[in-house]
Every structure is written in C-alpha cells, then in structure tokens.
Structure 1
Amino acid sequence: MSKASSANGIVRPGERITYTVTLSNAGDVDAVGVSVSDTLPANTSGADFVVSSVTVTANSSLSFTYSVTALIPLTNGTPIVNRVAISGPTAARDIVTATAMVTDVVASSYALSLTKSVSPSVAAPGSLVTYTLAYTISGDEPAFGVTVSDTLPAGVVFVSASLTPTIQNGGGLFWLLGDVALSCDAPSRCVATDTISLVARLPLAPLTNGTVFANNAIITDSSGLSATSSATVTIASGHAFSISKAADQAAVTAGTRLTYTIAYTLTGDEAAQNVMIVDTLPSSVTFISAVPTPTAQSGQQLIWNLGTQLPITNYQLLITIIVPSATPTGTLLTNRVTITDSNGGVTGTASVSTPVIALADPFIGKFAGPDPLVAGETLTFTLAFTNAGPSDAQNVVIDDPLPSSVTYGWVVSANPNVLPSVSSNRLRFNIGTLAAGASGQIVFTATVNLDAGVAITNEATITTTTPDANP
C-alpha cells in the first residue's frame, strides 16, 4: 500500500489536501474483504475515510482518493500527518495488514501594521490630546509575543489610557499583548485588530508658536517583525504687549527736569524673543539718565534690547530729561515709545504729551558813587542784574527814571552791549533775552546839579514778559 498528498509536503492554512491511497496485490491470489481506514489528520477539517470489503485481484492495484482542508490559522511549521491502514482476510490463507503515512508541513505567516493619529493635531500649551493606536495583525497563523509601545515626547505627560499599560517607564508606555489569535471571516483571510487610546497633556506655557511634538509608536513580536507609525501635534500659541507711558508732572517748567515712566506687560502663552523698546524723545529736550541704562542711543532715540521675555512679565523703565530753559510757554512735548519683538507678537505703542510753562525770576540791584558827592561832580551808576530762572526771561527791559536834578552822561560799560533810549530823563535798556542763571551789568555816568546836603534817590526796575517764578 502507498499514500500520496497533493500538497507535496507543503500546505498553506485553508488549502485543500487530496490524498491518494493505492492498494497493490503482487500475489497470485485475490485479496478479498480488505478494509481501508484513514483517520482525519489533526488540524484539518473533513471526515474519516473508511472502505470495507474491497477485493484487490491478484497482480493488480486499486486506488482511492479523498480530501481534507487544513485549518486556518495554523502556526508555521505545524505538521499534518495522515495515516492509512488496511486489513482483512484473503480468500486463500493469510491475514492482510499494511499501513502508510504521509506528512505535510504548514507554511504560514502574518504581517503587523500600526496607524497612529492624534486629536486635536493643533493645540494650545497645556492642552489634553488623545492619541489613537490602531493595530492590525493579518495572515494565516497566530502572532506570538506581541508588544505595542509608545514613547511620548519630552514634556508630554501621560494621563490615562483605554488599556492600562503593562509597563510605564517615564514617557515610555508598553502594552505586552502576548500571543494573539486571529479571527477568520473568509477561507483565506484572518485578522486581529484593536485600538488603544491614550490621553496626554502637552507641556505648559510658554511654548513657541509652531513647536511640533512628534512621537512614534511601534508594534513588535517575538520573531522580530515590527511596524511603526507617528503622529505630530503643533502648538498654537501667541503673545501680546501692552505698554503705557506717563510723565511725573502734568506741566513742566522750562529749564527743569521731567521724568517719564514706561511700563509694559507681556501676556499670552509663548515667550517673546528679541524684545526691543524704542523711546523717541522730543527733539528739543536733553537726555539725562535712564534706569535701566539704554542698550544704545541714536540721537533722540533710546533703545533697550531686552532679549527673551516670558509671560506674565511686568517691566518698568524710568527716563529723566531736562527741558531747555528757552522753551516758550505753550510748547507741547510729545514722547513716544514702541515695543516690538521678532516672533510675531502684537506690538505696543504709547505716548504722552506735556505742556511747557516758562517761569523766570529776574533781579536788579543799583549802586552809585562816589558817596558823598561834590556838587557838579560826575556820578557813576552801576546796574547789576540776574535771572534766577529756571526759564529764560524774554523781552527783558530795565527802566531807570533819573531824578530831574541828574543829567545822564554816557555808558561806561555794558554787558550785554546795550545803549539806553533816553526820553525825559528816563533811561530804558532793552536787554532782550536773559538766559536762566545769566547776569549782566551796566555802568553809566550822570551829572548832579544840587546844593550840598541834598540826598538823591533813584530806583531802577527790571521787567520781563515771562511770568515770574517768585512773584
């Protein structure tokens, strides 16, 4: 007896195997009442094959065929062993017995696939995001030692998962799934599929807009098969500046100092990079100092390079200037400040306008000599004057009405160089502008026509169109 398989030694799960059993009688007597018994092999479907009371004539052969189907899925390398036996008495003398066996080996395989997604894919710092790991095992054999792992990006914190990780090591999450059986919905199609969802929290602010958090998930088995998939979350963040500027006086006196206070706040959920404050002083003023010291100064522009600033940042600068003493009343000093950065923040501007008031404090003194004076002798008058400020005195006039007994002579010296206009024995010196802190002196002569013992009284006044600081 012999037996053959249509698989020729290799069979795929789900394939049909046809066995051929051949009975040969080499004797000179017919084999009568022979029974053939073939038991269904393990890992196959079908039925046992049994034939009874078969006669195989002398010097001839007889063949039988029957089929089974290999189960699916089956582990690669599984043997499918089929044995057949015959027995029965002969018509002449002997008991006929024989066996035959054929072995086919299963050739099977499977593939791993993994798809990772995240929702939302664009999120603000500190947001919760949900990663979904969808894996599929497809083929015609079970998978062994399956592990799904996901390593979260640095700073991303694991919160929860639909399937508790077998191992958690920092940001590394491992699901040891072990051996996974496949389910078949068609004669040659078997799959195992499942989904793991995990929730994680993105790093807290500040984070730069457009920052990408990418991570990979991987599915592996004990044989070294693997599949990977990745997902990315892009950070949507922003920032804005608010800035204000104030002066320490509602109105400033020409010739005095004025202090500006600049305050700004950075809000949002990302850092501002290369922050710069530019303050443009009024063209006429003089910069004295600032706290902190400006990084640079260009003309009337003061520049602070503040580098990277984090929200919430409250920052303050103090700027001190001096208003020129010659600045006229009613002048409006406008100061503007701007704050900018290099990564798209909403910039801020602010300005403050301060009116100027001019106040002067002129003073004059008058001296005469010699004293006593001889009748007919020349008398010398000295006018000494000054402006205590703080502003320049405009349109300064010195008025000196001489007594009728005194006759004006000439100007000996004058600083500034000025001559009087004389009308009815009244001297008028048009000084013009007398700067704050400046002083002058005029010396002139006169002749006195009085008897001895008569006192001479003379008074000079100084006036200005600039309001008096000390009226």
Structure 2
Amino acid sequence: VTLLETLALLPAGTTVTYTITTQEWPVAFAEPITATASATTTTPAFTVVCNSCEDTDLPELADIVVTNTNGQTIYTPGQTVTYTVTITNQGPAPAQNVAFTYPAPAGISSFTWADNYGVSSGTGITINDELGIDGVLEAGATVQYSVTFVVPDDFTGLLTTLATVTSDTVDPTPACITCTDTDDAPTADIVIAKTLNTGTAYTAGTNAVYTVTVTNDGPDLAQNITVQDLVPAGIVPATVNWFGSNGTSGTGNLNDVIPQLAVDAQVVYTITIPVPSSFDQDADIVNTATATGDTTDPDAANNTVTLTATPNPLANIITVKTNYQDEYLLESTTEYTITVTNPGPSDAFNVVVVDPRPYYITVMSWQGNGTGGSGTINNTIPVLAAGESMTYTVSLFIPFDYASFVGPLTNTVTVTSDTPDPVPGCTTCSDIDTPAGNFVNASDTQYTVPELIEDVLIDVECVGIDNVTWSTGLNYGQQNGIAYFHRNNSSFPIQEGVVLVSGNAIPGPGLQGVDGPNPTNTMSDGNWPGDTELQNYVPGANNDASWIKFNFVPVSNSFSFNYLFASEEYGNSGFECTFTDVFAFILT
C-alpha cells in the first residue's frame, strides 16, 4: 500500500511524523528491502531538499558450507570406507533451525556414525540430526561427522553418498557441490596369454607343456579372478598336472581363484599334458584358457585365449639285422634276426618291412608278425606302439659256389612307416658276411669240454651224458691240447668236431696249432705226462696225452662217429721210427 497524503499547510518550524509497519517477510526472502519517501510543495520560492528520504535493510544471512568425502574416487568391494562430513557456518549471522540428513547409499544396509562433540552417534540407515545449540549454529561454528560402512563384495555401479543441511536462515550460496561424494566402480583389464613349449605343434608320446599367464593391466586392483583351462578332448584328465606361481596346484582341469591381483602383477601357471603315444596323428589339440573377475573389465576380448597345436608325430624306428657272424660257410643255412623297434615317442602306423631275397640265393624262408613265407619279406605292421618291438627270423641256404660266383653275402632290410622318422637313416639294416677261409680253425673258448661232448660229439638230446672228465697239458701248466674245430670252406673231410692234440691245439707263440693255413708244417709241441690206462692197450711209455672220459646211456644198440688220425711227424727226420702216435677210443 502506498502512503499518499496532502498537508494543506505546514507552518514553519513544525514536523509531521509517519510510522509505517510492514508484514512478516517470507523465510526464504533474501532480497534487500528499500523504502523511499518524497515531498513536494506549491509555495513559490521554496525548494524541497531530502538527504534521507530512502532507507534500505539487508537480509540476515548464514553461509553454511558442507563437505562430504571419503578421500578416494574408486571403491573396492569388501572394503571398509569412512566418510568425513564437515558442516561449517561461515556467517555472518547465526543459522537458525539447522537440520542434517545423511541417508545410507543404495545397496548399503547400514552404517555407523559419530560427531566430533560426542552428541550424536549410532548405527542405522539414516542420520537425522539438529545441529548447534537448540538448533542454532553460530557463525564460525563447525560440526563434523564420521560415517563408516563396508562395501558389499557384490556391490556394483556408482557408490554415492549425499549430505543435506537445511536452515531457516537464508544461505547466500545455497548450491553445494561438495555435499555429494561419488566413487566409481574399480576397473581392471585382465589379460590372459598362453604359450606351448613346442610352439604351435605337439608330438604324441611327449609332454605338451603350456604356460598360462594372467596379468592385471589395471588401472585398479582386481578381485576374485577365476582362471580356467579345461583338459583338451582325447586327454585323460587324471594324467594332467598344473601348478601356479601363487602356490596353487592340482590335477585335471585348471580351476583356480586369485583373490586379489595388483596392478601390473602376474600369476603364471604351468600345465603339463602327457600326450599319449597313440593319440590321433591327424587331430589338433585345441586348448582354451579364460580369466574373469568380480572387478569390471574394460576389455573382455582379452579374457580368453585359445591355442591350437597341430600334430607332429615322430617314431624313431630302429632296425637291426644280424646273423651274429661275420663269415659264412658254403652249403649251409644261416639264420638272420630282424628286430624292428619303435623307441617312440609316437606310435608308428603302417610299418612296412621289406627284406628282398639276396642275389643267387634260391632257398629263403621267414617268420614274424604272426605269419611267414618263403622268398622276399613284404610285411606290414599296422601299429608298432612306442616302446614295442617286432622280430622276424630269416633263414637262407648258401650254395656251394656262392663264394666264387658272388663273394660277400649281403642281406639288407628296409623299414618304412606312415609316421615320420626323425632319424631316417639305418646303419644296422644290412648284414654283410664274407666267405669263411679255405682252412680249418680251432677254438678253445666256443665250447667247454662238457659241451664238446654233449653238443658236438654226441649232439643227441635223448642221450644221457654225465661225469665228463679230461686231461691235457693245461693240467700240467703246459699247452691246451683239447679244442673245437670247424673246416670252414676248406675241403677237410669232417665239417666240425673235437680235436685232441699231443701239444698245442690253438695257435701260440712259435706254434701253429691246428689252424690253417700251415706254411711251417710244425703244428704243436708238448711236454707233459702220458696216460697210464693207455699202456693196457699200447705197451710202453707214452707222453703228452690229451684225453676225455665220460659216461653215457645210449638210445640204440649201435653208434658210429667219424675221426681222422694224423701226425705232422711223418717224413720228418724219421720220428716215425722212434716214436709211436696213438689214437684210442676205449669203451668200457
């Protein structure tokens, strides 16, 4: 309402006073209040002068400043966080009816709080307090709250808290950007990588060793990372072993949880997969590893890695062919043993064994791999497992003219397989025998004396032989006069047998023995006692006796043997006129 009044006369020296009362101003009203008065007159020669015709009142103000912070910008699930809420009245006037409200953030079931005056504390989901004394927060006064709660392990999204302070006193800067504290969810870029000790290929029968590396590229701590690596198809899980640099280990599938992984930290797993030697040689081994965590990962594309290993089977086939001799005898049968072994590491498939019949040999037979035949071997072993062998025996007859017509006897076997051989050469696949000499050879090591009787002289399994005794120069510290002999490829009339010599049967220093060729005619020399039993049949003293005695049980009413009695002394200085050489076969 405007005051408008006219005074008809205002005598000199008089005063008129007006009192104006306004209504109660609204609480939120914060504008200056200005009242203006003016006066005019119609009296000539008078001028109205007014130095205080305007009055301005300013509002009563209280600038309340609030800060709400937990000192971080990123939270960690499972972490205990503490917020400090500071409420200050920066004046200039006391703040009337100050109220403080602080609700629990969404997803938080309760928190604890306490102020710095010990007036307010508790546990709940909201703080509703009146601040100051009787609700009046004086200018310059400060109230501080500490609010604490645990971030749940499964908490996701933004963590936001809001402090609200109201007052009846006008706040000249009501906006409050520090009343809200927002923490972002942590992020951790988990990267998983995998390598194979043999690159991109595997070999059946060996260990495929994988290295799985889990790295946290940040920017925050990673929580509860689950690392999985399933055993590839075709592998028995119980044979697989793994261990991690974090101290964990196990068999079968890798399934491990890393509770926490700091920025730039790694956990390295070593997975050993024994690939069976029989593993499909056409199959790839596909192996996939994954790593996922509770912490948000900004790049999920590097949480999975797959390594495909192609097959590289290897079977180091080793073949040995031998007839256990270096020389051959004409008109005899020689027997070869062919041993085909696969040391691995992989099984060998379709192993083909080919052993051609040597040139000029007409009679050849073989056995092996559950079968046999005559002539050339051409046999296939479907699978020769790592560590296994296959043996063949080959017999062939050597003609009487083989030495003159061909010469050395060469027999070569060839072995191939569908499975690659890392060492394809074969230095033991051929056996080469040269013709035995055209003269007799003797040996006192090939047979013992009992074996000479059992296996050479008698050579009949059913004949019972026992109590074999013997005597020769060895019994008297002299030469050995008992030995085995073979004619080799000579024309000697007896192929093999027992030789008894009144001297040295085996070549020695200055003595020929019975071996040929004999360019000196001197075969032996003896100097030991004779045989007293022989004197019953050949009267007179005798020297240098070599004899063998034995008991035997015949299997028929007759037996026979071939023998040849000879002396190098005939025609030699007339020794035959002075000495008597005796050979006796005494049956009692």
Q: Which structure shows the higher helix fraction?
A: 2
**What TM-score does the superposition give when structure 1 sets the normalisation length?**
0.50
Richer in strand (by share): 1
